[in-house]
Structure 1
Amino acid sequence: MTSPSVPADPIPVGRLGFGAMHLPTAPEPDRRAAIAVARRAVELGVTLIDTAHLYGWGANEELLAAALYPYPENLILATKVGVAPPRGDREAAFDGSPAFLREQVDEALRRLRVDRLDLLQLHRIDPAVPLADQLGTLRDLQTAGKIAHLGLSEITAAQLAEARTIITVASVQNRYNVLDREHETVLDACTEAGIAFLPWRPVHPATTTTGTEIAAVAAELGATQAQVSLAWLLARSPIMLPIPGTASITHLEENLAAEGLRLSPDQYDRLTAAAFPRAG
């Protein structure tokens, strides 16, 4: 088996990123407001912004390019490929075929106006294509200079272990938050290996529940439930890099302020006990 490729040198990133999925790509004035949110995120020190071909079938990537190009030197744009759009009677579907992945990488380069993707994640593993073929294709594109770092999304610990025999895994993006810890074993594997863990949906449903330990801790700290949820994630593991998303500058500023929020050991333990991890 071919050994994993060697990625580009690591780039320092802040502890909180920004998920661009919720930014509207509709015509003005929504588009203008979305561009303002993306620019404000960078002004506030965000160094990683997450997007994907799936988000508007490329429109989200084009929006970020319109908002931020030429990009700040320290900004990492993370995008994802591996989901084919609907065509005719066919619904959107996983597609890890080598030809499709190559096409999507080239289109992402064009939409983002770059020669190399900072971080390219396989959005979902296609069960119909051998993992070695999917990741081998991306590894070859990395070797060709089109991708700096490779990551995965929504995987199990076993899939992560297999992937690490094929590529150097820089990141994993799984659903995870204080109330939803299905992927606890994946997080633990990433922590042990020093692989960045980008939890998607990092605050929901914590922000929509009342009468919980999260609400109690938020009241004690004079913070929002979203801020408390993000603070717990940051305390959970040093490789945690939450990517909360919003289309509101106010919520963006509130979310990023969570990096300065400190939980006491008692508060952390109470939040940890708020939900029980499920095997996964």
Structure 2
Amino acid sequence: MTTATASFAGRTVSRVGYGAAQFGRLSDRRDEAVALLRRAVELGVNHVDTAEFYGFGFANEVIRETLRPEDDVLVVTKVGADPNPGGRLPLRVAQRPEQLRASVEANLRSLGVDRLPVVNLRRLDSGPGLRPEGDQVVDLDDQLAVMTALRDEGKIGAIGLSCVTLDGLRRARPAGIACVQNAYSIVSRDDEELLRLCVAEEIAWVPFFPLGGGFPGVPKATDEPAVHAVAGSLGVTPSQVGLAWLLHHAPNVLLIPGTADATHLEANMAVGEIAFDDAVLATLDAIESRSSEVPLG
């Protein structure tokens, strides 16, 4: 059995939270989106991950409409990309300091708050996805300068990093980093050394693509025979095995699986109750890790 809660940005949160990226699929069914988020809170979610570019602002609107102060939910957002309606991709890179500040202001407006508890600076140094070009190639120190200024102004409570390298985290540590959000799963463990540093420094590790996949060419946990075998022996789904492994693998892991389906949401929330014995863990740990370094665009 895994520990049910962990510390994050001075708060105690459930280790299984909710990622709002899937809300875009419900943009024409707003009531369903609101009901789904309320159900997540009822199930114990008190950590929600969002961004202004999720559903072109729709995710933030749903969060603003649904969450109440008494829910005591830690809402974490990110900057480094902006919505790109009508583009080939739903987002565009926005790495320059003035763009980061503008993105923070946009999240403040759409969430209807005067302070964002945690903001992840989405770098583009690692993992699957876009890479910066031209004037979007910005030094990390210049970005941290504006992020710390925003924190000093009270608009940000804590700073996180996303798609960051081991060297990048080492450079950023003096600024005070609350979490790292990188692509990481049982089948893509490129960042094991980075994870170890986060454990040592008590920095929360919040993996996206926690089951792999996400983009073509990225391996998937649910394609692994060993994952299916363990799922069958425990009477759970392969997806639940992949998520539960992350909770067992390191004590600072916080999950933010996203879904637009209430049944799937309940299955995700149940992974904290899944126990692995030493033999099962050894079987899962032996799964080959393949890189998630797949470019996009």
TM-score of the pair, normalised by structure 1: 0.88
The code of the aligned residue for 2:166 comes to A
SS at match of 1:84: strand
The CA distance in 1 between the partners of 2:9 and 2:76, in whole Å, is 16
The CA distance in 1 between the partners of 2:186 and 2:21, in whole Å, is 21
- Does the 8 Å contact 2:117/2:156 carry over to 1? yes
Query: In the TM superposition, what is the alpha-carbon distance from 1:72 to its structure 2 partner?
Result: 3.4
SS at match of 2:263: helix
Name 1:80's counterpart in structure 2. Answer: 78
- 1:143 pairs with 2:156: no
The CA distance in 2 between the partners of 1:135 and 1:143, in whole Å, is 12
Residues 273/115 of structure 1: CA separation in 2 closer, same or farther (3 Å cut):
same
The CA distance in 1 between the partners of 2:194 and 2:24, in whole Å, is 31
Deviations 1:100-144 (A, max 9, x none): 111111111111111110110012256622211111101111111
- Does the 8 Å contact 2:179/2:204 carry over to 1? yes
The CA distance in 1 between the partners of 2:248 and 2:273, in whole Å, is 11
The CA distance in 1 between the partners of 2:30 and 2:172, in whole Å, is 38
- 1:128 pairs with 2:142: no
Moved more, 200-209 or 150-159: 200-209
The code of the aligned residue for 1:137 comes to V
Name 2:23's counterpart in structure 1. Answer: 23
The code of the aligned residue for 1:33 comes to E
Residues 12/27 of structure 1: CA separation in 2 closer, same or farther (3 Å cut):
closer
SS at match of 2:13: coil
- Alignment map for 1:52-131 (pairs within 5 Å): 52-68=51-67, 70-86=68-84, 92-125=91-124, 128-131=137-140
- Does the 8 Å contact 1:76/1:118 carry over to 2? yes
Name 1:157's counterpart in structure 2. Answer: 166
- Does the 8 Å contact 2:207/2:255 carry over to 1? yes
Residues 137/33 of structure 1: CA separation in 2 closer, same or farther (3 Å cut):
same
Moved more, 134-143 or 99-108: 99-108
Query: In the TM superposition, what is the alpha-carbon distance from 1:94 to its structure 2 partner?
Result: 2.3
Query: In the TM superposition, what is the alpha-carbon distance from 1:62 to its structure 2 partner?
Result: 1.3
1:209 paired residue among 223, 227, 252: 223
- 1:12 pairs with 2:15: no
RMSD: 2.4
The CA distance in 2 between the partners of 1:193 and 1:27, in whole Å, is 39
2:181 paired residue among 170, 173, 178: 173
TM-score of the pair, normalised by structure 2: 0.83
Query: In the TM superposition, what is the alpha-carbon distance from 1:90 to its structure 2 partner?
Result: 9.6
The CA distance in 1 between the partners of 2:50 and 2:44, in whole Å, is 18
SS at match of 2:24: coil
Name 1:3's counterpart in structure 2. Answer: none
Name 2:31's counterpart in structure 1. Answer: 32
- Does the 8 Å contact 1:13/1:48 carry over to 2? yes
The CA distance in 2 between the partners of 1:64 and 1:85, in whole Å, is 17
The code of the aligned residue for 1:188 comes to R
Moved more, 144-153 or 59-68: 59-68
The CA distance in 1 between the partners of 2:35 and 2:221, in whole Å, is 24
User: Sequence identity, in percent?
Assistant: 38
SS at match of 1:182: coil
Unpaired runs of 5+ residues, structure 1, are: 1-7
The CA distance in 1 between the partners of 2:250 and 2:235, in whole Å, is 24
Unpaired runs of 5+ residues, structure 2, are: 1-7, 125-131, 214-219
The CA distance in 1 between the partners of 2:254 and 2:62, in whole Å, is 23
Moved more, 149-158 or 99-108: 99-108
Name 1:228's counterpart in structure 2. Answer: 241
The code of the aligned residue for 1:225 comes to P
